[in-house]
Amino acid sequence: MPLPDTIYCSQQITIPPQLPDILKNFAKAAIRTQPKDLLLWSADYFTALSRGEDPSLRKTSDATDIPAKISVGLTAVQLKELHAQMSRRESCSREELQEKWTELQLPMEQLETLLSLGNFGPDISWMAFFAHACTALGGGLLTSLKFACEILTEDEEGGAASIPFFVFVRLYTYLAEQDGDIPQEHIDTFLSSLQAKAEQQKGMIKPPDFLTINPIPSTP
């Protein structure tokens, strides 16, 4: 006599608590990266994650067989160069940004994705765009802030990569609000936990000060 088909009810299905955050971070990274081959890129992403590595630091399969002259996406070096040119004013026009982006031989699709993520109009707040561009370098919120520190710092290369705390507050608050899943109470608690450290360092903050703190509340 054949066994009956297994019937599952909602009480029998257990969703791992880490799954929502993993899938959300994966979806955001895919949207920002815009890989040509999503399956190959996904394989690289989850392979790195399973090994405890930062997926943003891996060379993905999309880079295979692409001529060296063609950029496959924004890098920290290019963003630093872009910041040096564009940060002289608080805002810039979409046309100015497109022109500089083209000069760096960066894919226009990636620029359009960043502009869409920030819901930018014709007049673009540079630091807001810069914050989104840091997320395009890969990783989660803390990794993006680490890239921001390394690009904005006036420390010597290889130094602490410290930046003024008020700049960090501006970047973190903006990205946290854009994320949409971080309660204001958690934003305030996170920044409050760093303020004393910044005061001890003459108003400066550096990556080691915040990399060990969870910037996003765990999913219940």
Per-residue pLDDT tens, the chain, 220 aa: give them: 555 555 556 556 777 877 877 888 788 777 767 777 777 778 777 877 776 666 654 444 444 333 333 345 889 999 999 999 999 899 999 999 999 999 988 999 999 999 998 899 999 999 999 999 999 887 788 889 999 999 999 998 888 999 999 999 999 999 998 888 888 898 999 999 899 999 999 999 999 998 877 655 544 4
Looking at residue 40, its amino acid is L
Give one DSSP letter per residue of 21-53, joined into a string: HHHHHHHHHHHHH--SSHHHHHHHHHHHHHTT-
Q: How far apart are CA 46 and CA 55, in angstroms?
A: 8
Specify the pTM. 0.67
